[in-house]
Protein backbone atom coordinates (compact mmCIF):
# COMPACT_ATOMS: atom_id res chain seq x y z
CA UNK A 1 0.00 0.00 0.00
CA UNK A 2 1.55 3.25 -1.11
CA UNK A 3 -0.14 5.48 1.46
CA UNK A 4 -0.45 4.84 5.18
CA UNK A 5 -3.71 3.34 6.38
CA UNK A 6 -5.78 5.90 8.26
CA UNK A 7 -8.28 3.61 9.95
CA UNK A 8 -7.85 0.01 11.11
CA UNK A 9 -10.47 -2.41 12.44
CA UNK A 10 -10.00 -5.76 14.19
CA UNK A 11 -12.28 -8.76 14.57
CA UNK A 12 -11.15 -11.60 16.84
CA UNK A 13 -12.41 -15.17 16.73
CA UNK A 14 -11.84 -17.79 19.41
CA UNK A 15 -10.16 -17.67 22.78
CA UNK A 16 -9.18 -14.91 25.20
CA UNK A 17 -5.56 -15.49 24.20
CA UNK A 18 -6.47 -14.26 20.72
CA UNK A 19 -8.18 -11.22 22.25
CA UNK A 20 -5.07 -10.31 24.23
CA UNK A 21 -2.94 -10.58 21.08
CA UNK A 22 -5.35 -8.54 18.93
CA UNK A 23 -5.36 -5.84 21.58
CA UNK A 24 -1.55 -5.70 21.66
CA UNK A 25 -1.28 -5.59 17.85
CA UNK A 26 -3.91 -2.82 17.66
CA UNK A 27 -1.98 -0.71 20.19
CA UNK A 28 1.02 -0.93 17.87
CA UNK A 29 -1.12 0.56 15.08
CA UNK A 30 -2.35 3.35 17.37
CA UNK A 31 1.26 4.13 18.35
CA UNK A 32 2.02 4.55 14.64
CA UNK A 33 -0.75 7.09 14.17
CA UNK A 34 -3.60 4.87 13.03
CA UNK A 35 -7.15 5.33 14.24
CA UNK A 36 -8.74 2.15 15.55
CA UNK A 37 -12.42 1.81 14.68
CA UNK A 38 -15.06 -0.84 15.24
CA UNK A 39 -15.16 -3.69 12.74
CA UNK A 40 -18.73 -2.66 11.91
CA UNK A 41 -17.44 0.74 10.78
CA UNK A 42 -15.57 2.12 7.76
CA UNK A 43 -11.87 1.23 7.74
CA UNK A 44 -8.96 1.20 5.31
CA UNK A 45 -7.58 -2.03 6.78
CA UNK A 46 -9.59 -4.86 8.31
CA UNK A 47 -7.70 -7.43 10.37
CA UNK A 48 -9.29 -10.80 11.19
CA UNK A 49 -7.59 -12.82 13.94
CA UNK A 50 -8.68 -16.40 13.32
CA UNK A 51 -9.09 -19.54 15.42
CA UNK A 52 -8.31 -23.16 14.56
CA UNK A 53 -10.70 -24.57 17.15
CA UNK A 54 -13.74 -23.03 15.46
CA UNK A 55 -15.40 -25.68 13.29
CA UNK A 56 -16.49 -23.24 10.59
CA UNK A 57 -13.29 -21.15 10.53
CA UNK A 58 -13.30 -20.86 6.72
CA UNK A 59 -17.00 -20.00 6.60
CA UNK A 60 -16.67 -17.36 9.33
CA UNK A 61 -13.66 -15.76 7.63
CA UNK A 62 -15.51 -15.51 4.31
CA UNK A 63 -18.52 -13.89 5.99
CA UNK A 64 -16.35 -11.31 7.79
CA UNK A 65 -14.47 -10.51 4.56
CA UNK A 66 -17.72 -9.94 2.66
CA UNK A 67 -18.96 -7.63 5.43
CA UNK A 68 -15.76 -5.58 5.31
CA UNK A 69 -15.83 -5.27 1.52
CA UNK A 70 -19.44 -4.07 1.61
CA UNK A 71 -18.43 -1.26 3.99
CA UNK A 72 -15.37 -0.26 1.98
CA UNK A 73 -14.81 -2.00 -1.39
CA UNK A 74 -11.32 -0.50 -1.64
CA UNK A 75 -10.20 -1.66 1.82
CA UNK A 76 -7.34 -4.09 2.44
CA UNK A 77 -7.87 -7.28 4.44
CA UNK A 78 -5.27 -9.10 6.50
CA UNK A 79 -5.82 -12.53 8.05
CA UNK A 80 -3.75 -13.59 11.06
CA UNK A 81 -4.02 -16.18 13.85
CA UNK A 82 -4.16 -19.95 14.19
CA UNK A 83 -6.19 -20.71 11.06
CA UNK A 84 -3.85 -18.49 9.06
CA UNK A 85 -0.91 -20.60 10.23
CA UNK A 86 -2.65 -23.90 9.48
CA UNK A 87 -4.33 -23.10 6.15
CA UNK A 88 -2.56 -20.08 4.59
CA UNK A 89 -3.06 -21.18 0.97
CA UNK A 90 -6.78 -21.82 1.45
CA UNK A 91 -7.25 -18.41 3.03
CA UNK A 92 -5.16 -16.66 0.36
CA UNK A 93 -7.57 -17.97 -2.30
CA UNK A 94 -10.58 -16.32 -0.66
CA UNK A 95 -11.74 -13.37 -2.72
CA UNK A 96 -10.85 -10.11 -0.97
CA UNK A 97 -7.92 -11.31 1.13
CA UNK A 98 -4.72 -9.30 0.61
CA UNK A 99 -2.32 -10.49 3.30
CA UNK A 100 -1.97 -13.73 5.31
CA UNK A 101 0.47 -13.82 8.23
CA UNK A 102 1.56 -16.88 10.22
CA UNK A 103 2.14 -17.26 13.95
CA UNK A 104 5.66 -15.83 13.91
CA UNK A 105 4.79 -12.86 11.70
CA UNK A 106 1.45 -11.60 13.07
CA UNK A 107 3.02 -9.34 15.70
CA UNK A 108 4.87 -7.57 12.89
CA UNK A 109 1.72 -6.92 10.88
CA UNK A 110 2.41 -3.21 10.63
CA UNK A 111 5.78 -3.92 9.01
CA UNK A 112 4.19 -6.06 6.31
CA UNK A 113 1.68 -3.47 5.11
CA UNK A 114 3.94 -2.58 2.19
CA UNK A 115 3.42 -6.11 0.87
CA UNK A 116 -0.26 -5.37 0.28
CA UNK A 117 -1.02 -4.69 -3.36
CA UNK A 118 -4.72 -4.19 -4.06
CA UNK A 119 -4.10 -4.70 -7.78
CA UNK A 120 -2.81 -8.25 -7.32
CA UNK A 121 -5.15 -11.15 -8.00
CA UNK A 122 -3.82 -13.25 -5.11
CA UNK A 123 -2.95 -12.54 -1.50
CA UNK A 124 0.58 -12.30 -0.14
CA UNK A 125 1.50 -15.06 2.34
CA UNK A 126 4.21 -14.53 4.94
CA UNK A 127 4.58 -17.61 7.08
CA UNK A 128 7.37 -19.51 8.82
CA UNK A 129 7.36 -23.20 9.68
CA UNK A 130 5.78 -23.55 13.11
CA UNK A 131 8.91 -25.36 14.35
CA UNK A 132 10.76 -22.07 13.84
CA UNK A 133 8.36 -20.18 16.12
CA UNK A 134 10.31 -20.04 19.36
CA UNK A 135 10.01 -16.45 20.58
CA UNK A 136 7.43 -15.57 23.24
CA UNK A 137 5.56 -12.37 22.47
CA UNK A 138 3.86 -10.88 25.55
CA UNK A 139 0.42 -9.36 25.13
CA UNK A 140 -2.56 -8.16 27.11
CA UNK A 141 -6.04 -6.91 26.31
CA UNK A 142 -7.09 -3.37 27.06
CA UNK A 143 -10.59 -3.09 25.64
CA UNK A 144 -12.63 -3.88 28.70
CA UNK A 145 -12.41 -1.20 31.34
CA UNK A 146 -12.59 -3.57 34.30
CA UNK A 147 -10.60 -6.62 33.20
CA UNK A 148 -7.43 -7.43 31.26
CA UNK A 149 -6.42 -10.79 29.78
CA UNK A 150 -2.69 -11.20 30.32
CA UNK A 151 -0.95 -13.76 28.13
CA UNK A 152 1.65 -15.55 30.26
CA UNK A 153 2.35 -18.59 28.07
CA UNK A 154 2.01 -19.72 24.45
CA UNK A 155 2.19 -22.99 22.51
CA UNK A 156 1.87 -26.53 23.78
CA UNK A 157 4.11 -29.61 24.05
CA UNK A 158 1.19 -31.97 24.54
CA UNK A 159 0.04 -34.20 21.69
CA UNK A 160 -3.68 -34.61 22.35
CA UNK A 161 -5.03 -36.60 19.43
CA UNK A 162 -7.88 -34.16 18.65
CA UNK A 163 -5.95 -30.89 18.81
CA UNK A 164 -4.31 -28.70 16.15
CA UNK A 165 -3.10 -25.96 18.49
CA UNK A 166 0.54 -27.22 18.66
CA UNK A 167 0.56 -27.08 14.84
CA UNK A 168 -0.85 -23.54 14.93
CA UNK A 169 1.10 -22.09 17.86
CA UNK A 170 4.21 -24.22 18.23
CA UNK A 171 6.10 -25.41 21.29
CA UNK A 172 5.36 -24.29 24.85
CA UNK A 173 7.17 -21.09 25.77
CA UNK A 174 6.87 -18.18 28.16
CA UNK A 175 8.74 -15.17 29.46
CA UNK A 176 10.53 -15.02 32.79
CA UNK A 177 8.62 -14.28 36.00
CA UNK A 178 10.40 -10.93 36.17
CA UNK A 179 9.38 -9.82 32.66
CA UNK A 180 5.82 -11.09 33.08
CA UNK A 181 5.54 -9.09 36.29
CA UNK A 182 6.72 -5.98 34.41
CA UNK A 183 3.84 -6.37 31.93
CA UNK A 184 1.41 -6.87 34.82
CA UNK A 185 2.73 -3.67 36.39
CA UNK A 186 1.88 -1.80 33.17
CA UNK A 187 -1.69 -3.07 33.48
CA UNK A 188 -1.83 -2.08 37.16
CA UNK A 189 -1.14 1.55 36.23
CA UNK A 190 -4.44 1.71 34.30
CA UNK A 191 -8.02 1.59 35.64
CA UNK A 192 -8.10 -2.22 35.31
CA UNK A 193 -9.27 -3.97 38.50
CA UNK A 194 -8.88 -7.63 37.49
CA UNK A 195 -6.22 -9.56 35.58
CA UNK A 196 -7.02 -12.93 33.99
CA UNK A 197 -3.98 -15.10 33.33
CA UNK A 198 -4.29 -16.79 29.96
CA UNK A 199 -2.30 -19.00 27.59
CA UNK A 200 -2.53 -22.29 25.73
CA UNK A 201 -1.21 -24.40 28.62
CA UNK A 202 -0.45 -21.97 31.45
CA UNK A 203 0.47 -24.68 33.94
CA UNK A 204 3.58 -25.23 31.79
CA UNK A 205 4.76 -21.67 32.49
CA UNK A 206 8.53 -21.39 32.95
CA UNK A 207 9.46 -24.93 31.91
CA UNK A 208 11.99 -23.51 29.44
CA UNK A 209 13.48 -21.23 32.12
CA UNK A 210 13.66 -23.41 35.26
CA UNK A 211 10.72 -21.50 36.74
CA UNK A 212 7.14 -22.63 37.27
CA UNK A 213 3.58 -21.39 37.53
CA UNK A 214 3.69 -21.27 41.31
CA UNK A 215 6.71 -18.94 41.10
CA UNK A 216 4.70 -16.68 38.79
CA UNK A 217 1.54 -16.41 40.88
CA UNK A 218 3.60 -15.92 44.04
CA UNK A 219 5.21 -12.87 42.46
CA UNK A 220 2.01 -11.52 40.91
CA UNK A 221 0.31 -11.74 44.29
CA UNK A 222 2.40 -8.74 45.39
CA UNK A 223 0.84 -6.38 42.79
CA UNK A 224 -0.48 -3.36 44.64
CA UNK A 225 -3.01 -1.73 42.31
CA UNK A 226 -4.86 -4.83 41.10
CA UNK A 227 -7.75 -6.13 43.19
CA UNK A 228 -8.22 -9.54 41.61
CA UNK A 229 -6.26 -12.12 39.65
CA UNK A 230 -8.11 -14.99 38.01
CA UNK A 231 -6.66 -18.14 36.40
CA UNK A 232 -8.35 -18.81 33.06
CA UNK A 233 -7.82 -22.55 32.51
CA UNK A 234 -5.27 -25.04 33.80
CA UNK A 235 -4.67 -28.72 33.13
CA UNK A 236 -5.56 -31.02 36.08
CA UNK A 237 -2.15 -32.72 36.03
CA UNK A 238 -0.46 -29.31 36.35
CA UNK A 239 -2.80 -27.90 38.99
CA UNK A 240 -0.85 -28.94 42.07
CA UNK A 241 -2.07 -28.90 45.66
CA UNK A 242 0.51 -26.16 46.31
CA UNK A 243 -1.08 -23.93 43.65
CA UNK A 244 -4.56 -24.61 45.03
CA UNK A 245 -3.44 -23.86 48.59
CA UNK A 246 -1.62 -20.70 47.55
CA UNK A 247 -4.67 -19.33 45.74
CA UNK A 248 -6.81 -20.04 48.80
CA UNK A 249 -4.43 -18.12 51.08
CA UNK A 250 -4.13 -15.20 48.65
CA UNK A 251 -6.21 -12.03 48.93
CA UNK A 252 -5.97 -11.44 45.17
CA UNK A 253 -6.40 -14.83 43.50
CA UNK A 254 -10.07 -15.61 43.17
CA UNK A 255 -11.79 -18.83 44.33
CA UNK A 256 -12.37 -19.94 40.75
CA UNK A 257 -10.69 -22.66 38.71
CA UNK A 258 -11.43 -23.80 35.17
CA UNK A 259 -10.13 -27.33 34.73
CA UNK A 260 -10.45 -29.25 31.42
CA UNK A 261 -11.77 -32.80 31.80
CA UNK A 262 -12.76 -33.67 28.18
CA UNK A 263 -14.12 -37.11 29.09
CA UNK A 264 -15.22 -39.05 32.15
CA UNK A 265 -14.19 -42.34 30.54
CA UNK A 266 -10.59 -43.45 31.05
CA UNK A 267 -10.79 -45.35 27.77
CA UNK A 268 -11.57 -42.14 25.89
CA UNK A 269 -9.01 -40.12 27.85
CA UNK A 270 -6.40 -42.62 26.69
CA UNK A 271 -7.55 -42.33 23.07
CA UNK A 272 -7.38 -38.55 23.43
CA UNK A 273 -3.84 -38.87 24.83
CA UNK A 274 -4.70 -36.79 27.87
CA UNK A 275 -2.15 -36.86 30.70
CA UNK A 276 -4.40 -37.94 33.56
CA UNK A 277 -7.29 -40.25 34.36
CA UNK A 278 -10.57 -39.61 36.15
CA UNK A 279 -9.10 -40.67 39.51
CA UNK A 280 -6.64 -37.75 39.51
CA UNK A 281 -9.30 -35.34 38.28
CA UNK A 282 -11.61 -36.32 41.12
CA UNK A 283 -8.80 -35.84 43.64
CA UNK A 284 -8.23 -32.28 42.39
CA UNK A 285 -11.92 -31.34 42.70
CA UNK A 286 -12.22 -32.84 46.17
CA UNK A 287 -9.05 -31.12 47.40
CA UNK A 288 -10.24 -27.72 46.14
CA UNK A 289 -13.63 -28.09 47.78
CA UNK A 290 -12.13 -29.39 51.05
CA UNK A 291 -10.09 -26.18 51.35
CA UNK A 292 -12.80 -23.77 50.21
CA UNK A 293 -16.34 -25.04 49.48
CA UNK A 294 -17.21 -21.64 47.97
CA UNK A 295 -14.85 -22.16 45.01
CA UNK A 296 -16.39 -22.06 41.54
CA UNK A 297 -15.13 -24.85 39.27
CA UNK A 298 -15.69 -24.84 35.51
CA UNK A 299 -15.13 -27.92 33.36
CA UNK A 300 -14.41 -28.43 29.63
CA UNK A 301 -15.84 -31.59 28.10
CA UNK A 302 -15.89 -32.99 24.54
CA UNK A 303 -18.77 -35.18 23.34
CA UNK A 304 -18.81 -37.50 20.34
CA UNK A 305 -15.09 -38.24 20.22
CA UNK A 306 -14.26 -41.21 17.94
CA UNK A 307 -14.66 -44.45 19.86
CA UNK A 308 -17.08 -42.92 22.40
CA UNK A 309 -19.70 -45.62 22.81
CA UNK A 310 -22.96 -44.96 24.66
CA UNK A 311 -21.38 -46.59 27.72
CA UNK A 312 -18.45 -44.15 27.60
CA UNK A 313 -20.74 -41.15 27.33
CA UNK A 314 -22.85 -42.35 30.26
CA UNK A 315 -19.66 -42.73 32.30
CA UNK A 316 -18.83 -39.12 31.45
CA UNK A 317 -22.33 -37.93 32.37
CA UNK A 318 -22.39 -39.84 35.65
CA UNK A 319 -18.84 -38.83 36.55
CA UNK A 320 -19.55 -35.12 36.03
CA UNK A 321 -22.87 -35.41 37.84
CA UNK A 322 -21.05 -36.90 40.84
CA UNK A 323 -18.54 -34.03 41.01
CA UNK A 324 -19.08 -30.86 43.03
CA UNK A 325 -18.50 -28.55 40.06
CA UNK A 326 -20.26 -25.35 38.97
CA UNK A 327 -20.67 -25.27 35.19
CA UNK A 328 -19.58 -26.91 31.93
CA UNK A 329 -18.18 -25.74 28.62
CA UNK A 330 -19.44 -28.41 26.24
CA UNK A 331 -17.68 -28.93 22.90
CA UNK A 332 -19.06 -31.21 20.21
CA UNK A 333 -16.18 -33.09 18.61
CA UNK A 334 -15.40 -32.02 15.06
CA UNK A 335 -12.81 -33.55 12.77
CA UNK A 336 -9.55 -31.65 12.35
CA UNK A 337 -7.12 -32.30 9.47
CA UNK A 338 -3.75 -33.82 10.39
CA UNK A 339 -4.87 -35.08 13.80
CA UNK A 340 -4.48 -38.67 14.98
CA UNK A 341 -8.11 -38.82 16.09
CA UNK A 342 -9.02 -39.25 12.41
CA UNK A 343 -7.36 -42.68 12.52
CA UNK A 344 -9.79 -43.99 15.15
CA UNK A 345 -12.33 -46.19 13.39
CA UNK A 346 -15.51 -45.79 15.43
CA UNK A 347 -17.03 -42.46 14.31
CA UNK A 348 -19.96 -41.12 16.32
CA UNK A 349 -22.83 -39.95 14.06
CA UNK A 350 -23.41 -36.19 14.18
CA UNK A 351 -27.01 -36.63 15.36
CA UNK A 352 -25.70 -38.63 18.34
CA UNK A 353 -23.05 -35.99 19.07
CA UNK A 354 -25.79 -33.35 19.11
CA UNK A 355 -27.96 -35.42 21.44
CA UNK A 356 -25.09 -35.94 23.90
CA UNK A 357 -24.18 -32.27 23.76
CA UNK A 358 -27.74 -31.28 24.64
CA UNK A 359 -27.75 -33.64 27.63
CA UNK A 360 -24.57 -32.08 29.00
CA UNK A 361 -25.82 -28.54 28.42
CA UNK A 362 -28.87 -29.39 30.53
CA UNK A 363 -26.58 -30.87 33.19
CA UNK A 364 -24.48 -27.69 33.13
CA UNK A 365 -27.57 -25.54 33.73
CA UNK A 366 -28.52 -27.80 36.63
CA UNK A 367 -25.02 -27.58 38.16
CA UNK A 368 -24.89 -23.79 37.81
CA UNK A 369 -28.33 -23.30 39.35
CA UNK A 370 -27.39 -25.57 42.25
CA UNK A 371 -24.08 -23.72 42.79
CA UNK A 372 -25.80 -20.32 42.76
CA UNK A 373 -28.53 -21.55 45.12
CA UNK A 374 -25.95 -22.27 47.81
CA UNK A 375 -25.13 -18.55 48.08
CA UNK A 376 -28.59 -17.02 48.30
CA UNK A 377 -28.70 -14.81 51.39
CA UNK A 378 -24.90 -14.49 51.45
CA UNK A 379 -22.79 -11.42 50.76
CA UNK A 380 -20.09 -11.56 48.09
CA UNK A 381 -17.73 -8.90 46.69
CA UNK A 382 -18.85 -8.05 43.14
CA UNK A 383 -16.88 -6.22 40.46
CA UNK A 384 -19.37 -4.31 38.29
CA UNK A 385 -18.43 -4.55 34.62
CA UNK A 386 -21.36 -3.21 32.60
CA UNK A 387 -24.76 -1.54 32.68
CA UNK A 388 -27.78 -2.95 30.84
CA UNK A 389 -31.53 -2.38 31.16
CA UNK A 390 -30.90 -0.04 34.10
CA UNK A 391 -29.04 -2.77 35.97
CA UNK A 392 -25.41 -3.09 37.01
CA UNK A 393 -23.92 -6.41 35.90
CA UNK A 394 -20.78 -7.98 37.32
CA UNK A 395 -19.20 -11.09 38.78
CA UNK A 396 -18.52 -12.09 42.34
CA UNK A 397 -15.08 -13.28 43.40
CA UNK A 398 -16.28 -16.86 42.84
CA UNK A 399 -17.66 -16.08 39.39
CA UNK A 400 -21.37 -15.76 40.09
CA UNK A 401 -22.95 -13.41 37.56
CA UNK A 402 -24.80 -10.75 39.53
CA UNK A 403 -27.39 -8.13 38.55
CA UNK A 404 -28.35 -5.24 40.85
CA UNK A 405 -30.21 -1.96 40.66
CA UNK A 406 -27.73 0.86 41.05
CA UNK A 407 -26.12 3.90 39.45
CA UNK A 408 -24.05 3.51 36.31
CA UNK A 409 -21.18 5.29 38.08
CA UNK A 410 -20.47 2.12 40.06
CA UNK A 411 -19.05 0.38 36.97
CA UNK A 412 -15.45 -0.70 37.67
CA UNK A 413 -15.93 -0.69 41.44
CA UNK A 414 -16.13 -3.61 43.84
CA UNK A 415 -19.08 -3.61 46.25
CA UNK A 416 -20.41 -6.04 48.83
CA UNK A 417 -23.65 -7.47 47.46
CA UNK A 418 -26.28 -9.57 49.18
CA UNK A 419 -27.55 -12.27 46.81
CA UNK A 420 -31.31 -12.55 47.12
CA UNK A 421 -32.69 -14.42 44.08
CA UNK A 422 -31.32 -17.27 41.96
CA UNK A 423 -32.23 -16.62 38.33
CA UNK A 424 -30.35 -19.64 36.95
CA UNK A 425 -27.96 -17.84 34.64
CA UNK A 426 -27.48 -14.97 37.09
CA UNK A 427 -28.24 -13.92 40.65
CA UNK A 428 -30.22 -10.85 41.68
CA UNK A 429 -28.61 -8.88 44.45
CA UNK A 430 -28.78 -5.79 46.64
CA UNK A 431 -25.78 -3.54 47.27
CA UNK A 432 -25.00 -3.56 50.96
CA UNK A 433 -24.78 -0.19 52.72
pLDDT at position 51 over 90:
no
User: Chain-wide mean pLDDT for the chain?
Assistant: 93
Cβ-contact 394, 382 below 8 angstroms? yes
Higher confidence at residue 16 or residue 287? 287
Q: What is the pLDDT of residue 227?
A: 97
**Statement: residue 1 has pLDDT above 60:** no
> Is the model's pLDDT at 261 over the cut of 80?
yes
Report the pLDDT value the prediction gives residue 128, as an integer from 0 to 100.
84
d(CA 415, CA 433): 9
**Full-model pTM:** 0.92
* H-type alpha helices, 120-256: 165-169, 177-188, 213-220, 241-249
What is residue 52's predicted lDDT score, i.e. its pLDDT? 78
User: Where residue 4 falls among pLDDT bands split at 50, 70, 90?
Assistant: low
Q: What is the pLDDT of residues 80-134, one digit of tens each?
A: 988 889 888 988 888 889 999 988 899 999 998 888 877 677 788 988 888 888 8
The pLDDT assigned to 5 comes to 55
Does residue 33 have a pLDDT over 60? yes
Banded pLDDT at 14 (limits 50, 70, 90): confident
Percent of the chain exceeding pLDDT 90 equals 78
Provide the 3-class DSSP secondary structure of residue 99: strand
Dihedral sign (CA 239, 245, 251, 256): positive
pLDDT tens column, 288-346: 999 999 999 999 999 999 999 999 999 999 999 999 999 999 999 999 889 999 999 89
Where do the domains of the chain lie, and which CATH numbers do they carry? 7-131 (3.40.50.12160), 139-373 (3.80.30.20), 379-431 (2.40.50)
- Can you give the pLDDT at residue 55? 64
Mean pLDDT of 4-27: 87
Q: What is the pLDDT of residue 2?
A: 45
Name 146's Cβ contacts closer than 8 Å, sequence gap at least 6. 192, 193, 194, 383, 384, 385, 394, 411, 412
Helix axes 310-322, 350-373, angle to 10 degrees: 10
Amino acid sequence: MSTPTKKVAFHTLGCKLNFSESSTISREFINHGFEKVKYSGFADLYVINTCSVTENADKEARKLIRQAKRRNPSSAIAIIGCYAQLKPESIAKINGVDLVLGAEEKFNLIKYLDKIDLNKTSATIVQSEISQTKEFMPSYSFGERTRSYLKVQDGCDYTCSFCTIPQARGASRSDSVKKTKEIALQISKTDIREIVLTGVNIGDFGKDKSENFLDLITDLDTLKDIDRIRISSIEPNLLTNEIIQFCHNSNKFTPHFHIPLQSGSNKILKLMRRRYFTELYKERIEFIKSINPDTCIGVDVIVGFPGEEEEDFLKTYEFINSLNISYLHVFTYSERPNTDALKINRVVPKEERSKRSKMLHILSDKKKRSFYEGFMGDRRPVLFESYKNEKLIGHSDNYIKVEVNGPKELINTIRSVKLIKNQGGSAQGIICK
